Structure 1
Amino acid sequence: MNNKKILGFTLTEFMVVVALVAIIAGIAAPSFASMIRENSARTQANELFALASYARTEAIKRQSDIRVVITSTEASGWKVQILSGTELLKEMDKSSSNVSVSAANLGFDIRGRRATGTDNCVSVSYRSYTKQLQIGLGGNLKVISGSCT
């Protein structure tokens, strides 16, 4: 009599494991897709936050008013220009992006405060997920959930 042990899996055991992995992946996939959508909106809002912070810093450094012009492009996508008078300081073209941004005209005065007559909120949307960049009177910036009112 041969007492050798046979190591390995049977085909039935392998198929049960594959079926369990498929079921778990099927349950996790929808929540993973929604997480990706929300992160896309958050990432674009954080990029706008960084650009607005740069504009505010430049306004204080240069002792001049700085404008941030956000324009929506066709279908979706957006473009940002940071201007000191007519001088272009920085530009970001996201026209191929699937994330849409509400058109806005932001501005900062020589003290870094929000310039009068400029918008105080920018909405960033990707499908059903919306984030907003808020600019307070003192020039403070924050990104929160929801759309601008």
Structure 2
Amino acid sequence: MSTKKILGFTLTELMVVVAIVAIIAGIAAPSFASMIRENTARTQVNELLALTNYARSEAIKRQSNIQVAITSLGASGWKAQILSGTELLKEMDKSGSVVSVSAVNLGFDMRGRRATGTDNCVSVSYSSYTKQLQVGLGGSLKVTSGSCPESS
């Protein structure tokens, strides 16, 4: 009599593999959620950086002062407007965002430098992650971790 060889997995082997995968997923899930929160804050500050770079380049191109008015909408997000005098050049509405942003007025003169009397730092926060966008005296823009100092 010949015996047939059966290929495949037993139910016990399959259950062991499922248990191992569940343990690994349980260990990885908290760090994955943390990564998503940090990336959300980073994405919002990078969008703000792009908008601020646009404002600076418009100030140089138009040879006039340009203002970036950032308004905090509390828990429902933020809004930013680029103004040349009273003319609205560009607007970014993040009113559905879960990220909070400090309300500030950034300004650039016709040489692309930070205008006098304007703020130099914007804080972007989500959960426990805070990033800041700093505007140097020469108009340079830098994103770092942490919140802005009180006297910005």
* TM-score, normalization by structure 1: 0.98
Once the two structures are TM-superposed, the CA of residue 17 in structure 1 deviates from its matched residue by 0.5
| Letter of the 2:67 counterpart | R
Deviations along 1:10-43, one digit per CA (max 9) or x if unpaired, are: 0000000000000000000000000000000000
Sequence identity percentage: 83
Paired amino acid for 2:58: E
Deviations 1:33-78 (A, max 9, x none): 0000000000000001000000000000000000000001142300
Which residue in the other structure is 2:75 paired with? 75
1:58 is matched with 58
Find the counterpart in structure 1 of residue 12 from structure 2.
12
Q: Which stretches in structure 1 are left out of the alignment for 5+ residues?
A: none
TM-score for the superposition, normalised by structure 2: 0.96
Q: Is the 8 A contact 2:74 2:100 kept in 1?
A: no
- What amino acid is aligned across from residue 135 of structure 1 in structure 2? V
Q: Distance in 1 between matches of 2:117 and 2:127?
A: 30
Secondary structure (helix, strand or coil) at the match of 2:75 reads: coil
Unaligned runs of 5+ in 2: none
Distance 2:76 2:146 in 1: 19
Moved over 6 A (4+): none
Q: Give the secondary-structure state (helix, strand or coil) at the position aligned to 1:105.
A: strand
Query: How far apart, in 2, do the equivalents of 1:30 and 1:18 lie?
Result: 20
Q: How many angstroms apart in 2 are the aligned matches of 1:2 and 1:129?
A: 67
Cα root mean square deviation, aligned? 0.7
Aligned residue pairs total: 149
Matches within 5 A, 1:26-45: 26-45=26-45
Query: Is the aligned partner of 1:107 residue 2:98?
Result: no
